[in-house]
């Protein structure tokens, strides 16, 4: 139901174009000094460079596995929010009745109570997704120019609308003012849900069993909120991220000095039979070195992009789209006029937010 962008080779090349130019320059400079200025001493043995490359491959693999685990866990958490929200919708609709009270309560009043609970839950999702989109000091992906381009093209709703604007349609003025005065808005909204359930139990609109079951649903929502906050507020360990970056660039800067010497040896071996090719073979080390560096650098960058699954990049969990889908389901359960229900959020450039 919720998918992310399918990247093509063209997209990947465009996304890494600035890095590619830099890597080509890094590969070019040693060869120019080595060949054009005849500084043949300027080279390094290949073996230690290969050892460094092997170590870098291992740590990048570890980083990417850990980053993917964070993304997948975040997606499972929001999948749980989808299921638990639908559960809340059916218990609100079917449990709040006059079966256990002598109080005269009209169908219109029961409908208003159900709508209030459902709308407050939508407000909870709104507050939670806004909290997940708030920047943290370690979230730096969107500072990269090419990632900023995607952000401008796609747009993240939580960056364009304030929380107050988005909560307004779902809460009374009194509740809106109360929630906005608190530090953790989502937590207080579930607390308000629990207080209203207690009032409904006092009035007899729900009995003990239904009250406990509905409270269990709220407890599950608290659990899912806490899991989502854990991923948001605890970054991929910075010591690993920093060392990965340092080791990668050590390898990138050393690589051309070993590759060009190996290519020069190949050229020397074939120069008698193919003079033109042999004499210029060392220059082919430039695209080869750039290609190897590009593979390592791009894999490391993919890991960095995936570290924080709520930052708002094209590869993050589409919590805005998921929340809108839940809202549509819940409001349809209330049998609202379809004209009043907001439409699904359309993907921009095959990307959901």
In a domain, 233, yes or no: yes
Residue 352, domain member (yes or no): no
What one-character-per-residue DSSP string does 95-159 give? H-SSTT--S---HHHHHHHHHHHHHHHHHHHHHHHHHHHS--TT--GGGSHHHHHHHHHH--HHH
**Which pLDDT does position 351 carry in this prediction?**
75
Domain range for 37 = 9-340
Q: Is residue 4 included in any domain, yes or no?
A: no
Q: What's the total number of domains in the chain?
A: 1
Q: List, as own/partner pairs, every contact residues 173-181 make where C-beta atoms lie below 8 angstroms and the sequence separation is at least 24, other chains included.
A: 175/120, 179/123, 179/127
Confirm whether 347 is domain-assigned.
Answer: no
Is 65 a member of any domain?
A: yes
- Does residue 348 belong to any structural domain of this protein? no
State the pLDDT at residue 133: 94
pLDDT at 1: 46
The 3 state secondary structure assigned to 323-348 is HHHHHHHHHHHCCCCHHHCCCCCCCE
Asked if residue 334 belongs to a domain, the reply is: yes
Residue 198 is assigned to a structural domain of this protein: yes
Task: Name residues whose C-beta falls within 8 Å of residue 235's C-beta, 6 or more positions apart in sequence.
Answer: 136, 138, 139, 241, 307, 308
34 φψ region: left (φ > 0), alpha (ψ -120 to 50), beta (else):
alpha
- Report pLDDT for 175: 97
- So what's the pLDDT on residue 6? 53
pTM: predicted TM-score of the whole model, two decimal places: 0.89
Segments in the chain below pLDDT 50:
1
What does the pLDDT read at residue 92?
A: 97
Percent of the chain scoring above 90 in pLDDT: 73
pLDDT value of position 145? 73
DSSP string, 192-236: HHHHHHHHHHHHTSS-HHHHHHHHHHHHHHHHHHHHHHHHHHSPS
């Amino acid at each position: 139901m919720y998918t992310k962008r399918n990247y093509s080779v063209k997209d990947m090349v465009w996304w890494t174009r600035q890095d590619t130019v830099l890597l080509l320059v890094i590969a070019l400079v040693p060869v120019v000094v080595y060949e054009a200025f005849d500084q043949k001493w300027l080279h390094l043995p290949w073996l230690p460079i290969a050892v460094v490359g092997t170590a870098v491959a291992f740590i990048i693999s570890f980083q990417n596995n850990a980053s993917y685990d964070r993304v997948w866990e975040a997606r499972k958490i929001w999948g749980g929010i989808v299921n638990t929200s639908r559960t809340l919708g059916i218990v609100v609709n079917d449990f709040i009745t006059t079966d256990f009270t002598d109080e005269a309560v009209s169908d219109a009043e029961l409908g208003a109570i159900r709508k209030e609970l459902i709308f407050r839950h939508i407000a909870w999702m709104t507050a939670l997704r806004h909290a997940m989109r708030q920047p943290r000091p370690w979230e730096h992906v969107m500072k990269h120019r090419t990632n900023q381009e995607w952000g401008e093209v796609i747009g993240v709703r939580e960056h364009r609308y304030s929380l107050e604007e988005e909560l307004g349609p779902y809460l009374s003025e009194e509740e809106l003012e109360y929630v906005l005065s608190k530090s953790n808005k989502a937590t207080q909204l579930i607390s308000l849900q629990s207080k209203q359930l207690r009032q409904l139990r006092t009035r007899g609109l729900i009995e003990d069993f239904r009250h406990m079951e509905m409270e269990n649903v709220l407890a599950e929502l608290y659990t899912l909120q806490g899991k989502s906050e854990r991923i948001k507020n605890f970054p991929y360990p910075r010591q690993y991220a920093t060392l990965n970056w340092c080791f990668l660039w050590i390898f990138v800067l050393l690589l051309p000095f070993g590759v060009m010497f190996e290519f020069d040896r190949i050229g020397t071996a074939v120069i008698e039979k193919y003079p033109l090719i042999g004499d210029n073979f060392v220059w082919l080390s430039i695209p080869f070195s750039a290609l190897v560096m590009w593979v390592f650098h791009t894999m490391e960058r993919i890991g960095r992009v995936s570290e924080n699954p709520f930052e708002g990049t094209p590869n993050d969990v589409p919590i805005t789209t998921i929340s809108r889908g839940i809202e549509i389901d819940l409001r349809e359960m209330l049998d609202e006029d379809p004209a009043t229900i907001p439409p699904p959020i359309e993907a921009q450039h095959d990307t959901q937010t």
